């Protein structure tokens, strides 16, 4: 996907996965010859914890609701929590949330804001009930952590490494599991960082790639910087 988006012509059958301390990928790149790519995924370490907490909370809600919410047997219930609340707080209010859902009108479908003065008001902001061919109730809950974007830090760690290669080396930082709606705001910082350090690194070129949208978000190569400095 990356090669297609970056319009790189890689010789068919030449891609090899390598083991550390070598860079991750070795291939033949048309016009460049033997080229190694070091890969790094841009992902906040908190993401895995957030996903695990969401899954746990959804399971607990479904187990508790199975017998208590017969009216929601065909429903998907999305729970929007107060952003600052922790997963422990959310787990402690499961029983209150079940009781709150039981208080909704029979056959309720749509959005319902939880009053701030309700017992749940400090933890749950709103619920959305969608009726359909569900075997429910099925719960979806909002994530509970603000995720940072460690793109610059990821690139910096790779710049600090030394790789046992005697051929061209490029760095590919990519997004896959972490969403990228705000990444455009990060690119100017990334550009300044890479341009100030690329010539001192082993890398000939740095890429930033969004796997979900199959798009190259940024690239910078040594030859362009050398030319700019010469001018």
Mean pLDDT of 60-78: 87
User: Which H or E run includes 227?
Assistant: helix 222-230
Q: How far apart are CA 83 and CA 74, in angstroms?
A: 28
Please give the sequence-ordered ranges of beta strands (E in DSSP) within 14-153, or none if there are none: 16-17, 25-29, 33-41, 75-81, 110-113, 124-131, 138-141
Q: How far apart are CA 119 and CA 46, in angstroms?
A: 29
- Beta-bridge mates of residue 77: 129, 139
184 confidence band (pLDDT: 50, 70, 90): confident
Ramachandran assignment for 13, one of left (phi > 0), alpha (psi -120 to 50 degrees), beta (any other): left
Non-local (6+) Cβ contacts of 132 within 8 A are 74, 75, 76
Q: What pTM value is reported for the model?
A: 0.60
- Beta-bridge mates of residue 112: 127
Q: With a cut of 80, say whether residue 229 has pLDDT above it.
A: no
């Amino acid at each position: 996907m990356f090669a297609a988006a970056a319009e790189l012509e890689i010789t068919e059958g030449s891609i090899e996965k390598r083991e550390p301390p070598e860079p991750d990928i070795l291939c033949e790149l048309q016009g460049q010859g033997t080229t190694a790519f070091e890969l790094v995924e841009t992902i906040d370490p908190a993401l895995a914890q957030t996903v695990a907490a969401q899954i746990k909370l959804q399971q607990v809600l479904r187990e508790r609701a199975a017998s208590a919410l017969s009216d929601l047997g065909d429903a998907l219930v999305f729970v929007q929590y107060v952003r600052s609340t922790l997963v422990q707080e959310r787990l402690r209010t499961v029983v209150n949330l079940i009781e709150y859902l039981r208080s909704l009108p029979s056959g309720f479908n749509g959005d319902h804001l939880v009053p701030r003065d309700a017992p749940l008001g400090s933890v749950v902001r709103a619920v959305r009930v969608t009726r359909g061919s569900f075997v429910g109730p099925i719960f979806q809950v909002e994530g509970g952590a603000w995720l940072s974007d460690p793109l610059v830090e990821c690139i910096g760690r790779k710049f600090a490494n030394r790789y046992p290669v005697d051929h061209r080396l490029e760095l590919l930082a990519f997004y896959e599991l972490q969403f990228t709606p705000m990444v455009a705001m990060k690119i100017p910082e990334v550009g300044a960082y890479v341009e100030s350090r690329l010539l001192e690194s082993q890398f000939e070129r740095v890429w930033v790639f969004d796997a979900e949208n199959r798009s190259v978000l940024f690239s910078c190569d040594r030859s362009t910087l050398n030319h700019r400095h010469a001018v």
